[in-house]
Every structure is written in C-alpha cells, then in structure tokens.
C-alpha cells in the first residue's frame, strides 16, 4: 500500500489531468442529495470547495432552499470554527482565495452554532477508501474537529472516483467517514 504522501502525489497528478470538474461534481452531488441521511438532517456542515475539490457551492444553495441550516467552517488559530450561513452573499475570498464567512459577520450571535448541534458533516479529502478511510492535506484540522462533534453526527466524504483507493493508511488520530460518495459509488462504513 502506498504511504500518505505517495497517495497525495498520485491524486495531485490525476487532478492535473482534469481541466473541469463541473460535470463530475454534479454527478457526486446528485448521488449525495438522495441519501436518506440528508432527508433526516436539518443542521448540515459542509466545506466550501477550493481548486479541484468536489464543488459544493451549488449544493449549499440547494440545501439552503430546502430549509436546511447550513454551517460552513473557517480556520482560526489552527482550529476549525463554525459559521451558520444564511446565504451565499455572506462568503468572501479569504485564505488562499477560499470562500469563507466574512470577517465582520463571524462574531454575530445569529451566526453562532455549536459542534454538538451538527447532525451531518460533509468533509473534503485528498483520498478515501471503500471503508471510510480518509487522507486529508496533512494538517489534521478535520480529524481534530470530528472528535468534537456528536457521536450521532454522520460524516460524509465527497470525492471523485479517481480519489477512491482500495485502502488508505490510517493512523490512530485519523477519523473514518461514515459514508463516502463519488460519481458512481456510495461506500458505507460497516460498524
């Protein structure tokens, strides 16, 4: 099995070969939106896409229109913070040009949400496996964060098929996804 750095390099090369991820992202989100867990969750956290990740901005718009409470992350002092998003206009380019909550809105009480309120967390990743294993970018932000959420919260990784491996190396601090969704597959972690 390749190590984490080798897998990151493989995925980076595969991403390089792709010019546009719109159609692939649409296929992933079409599969994702039909999950029964979406129907039963009202407080959903999702990353805001960057680069050649599965695109989430249109998905955020769809879920807001469905009346879901959408929470987006931003980073502060090396930790993920939560922001209750009312509409996409509350986002602006931040670190590395990634859309994140506008700084002037972050401290307002109507945008506060607590970790334990999250029912579903959509997680980005560099690579995933069929058992819910995940490799991130190597800083551990999401692994540390996922330890804070309710044990009942469902974690879902969104990925393109080329990011799915038979197995990825996992260390003791790495967090497994409950579900991984790609263009052509849904993998559920067995208990």
**Mean of pLDDT over the chain:** 94
The rounded percent of the chain whose pLDDT value lies above 70 is: 99
Distance CA 9, CA 93 (A): 27
Domain containing 130 equals 4-188
Distance CA 186, CA 71 (A): 23
**Ramachandran region of residue 166, left (φ > 0), alpha (ψ -120 to 50) or beta?**
alpha
Q: Is the pLDDT of residue 115 over 90?
A: yes
Residues 6+ apart with CB under 8 A from 25: 49, 54, 55
Residue 151, domain CATH: 3.40.50.10420
Tokens 């849904």 belong to residue: 186
pLDDT at residue 76, as a whole number: 87
The pTM score is 0.94
Count of the separate structural domains present in the chain: 1
Q: Is the pLDDT of residue 125 over 70?
A: yes
Paired residues of 107 in beta bridges: none
Neighbour count for residue 158 (Cβ, 10 Å) = 28
1 pLDDT band, cuts 50/70/90, is confident
Collapsed DSSP state (helix, strand, coil) of residue 55? coil
Tokens 């497994």 belong to residue: 176
Three-state secondary structure readout of 80-112 = EEEEEECCHHHEEECHHHCEEECHHHCCCHHHC
Distance CA 53, CA 34 (A): 20
85-106 residues labelled b (16+ CB within 10 A) or e (exposed): beeeebbeeeeeebbbbeeebb
DSSP state, residue 67: T
Given a contact cutoff of 8 angstroms between Cβ atoms, the answer to whether 66 and 55 are in contact is no
Distance CA 77, CA 62 (A): 31
């Amino acid at each position: 099995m390749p190590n984490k750095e080798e897998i990151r390099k493989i995925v980076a090369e595969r991403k390089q070969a792709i010019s546009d991820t719109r159609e692939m992202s649409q296929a992933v989100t079409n599969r994702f939106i039909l999950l029964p867990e979406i129907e039963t969750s009202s407080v959903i956290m999702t990353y805001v896409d960057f680069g050649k990740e599965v695109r989430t901005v249109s998905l955020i718009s769809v879920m807001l229109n469905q009346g879901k409470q959408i929470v987006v992350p931003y980073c502060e002092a090396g930790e993920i913070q939560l922001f209750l998003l009312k509409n996409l206009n509350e986002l602006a380019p931040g670190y590395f040009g990634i859309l994140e909550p506008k700084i002037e809105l972050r401290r307002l009480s109507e945008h506060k949400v607590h970790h334990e309120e999250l029912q579903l967390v959509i997680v980005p990743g560099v690579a995933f496996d069929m058992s819910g294993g995940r490799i991130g970018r190597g800083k551990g932000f999401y692994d540390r964060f996922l330890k804070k959420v309710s044990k009942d919260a469902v974690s879902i990784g969104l990925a393109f098929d080329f990011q799915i491996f038979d197995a990825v190396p996992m260390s003791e601090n790495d967090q497994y996804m409950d579900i991984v969704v790609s263009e052509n597959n849904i993998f559920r972690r067995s208990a």
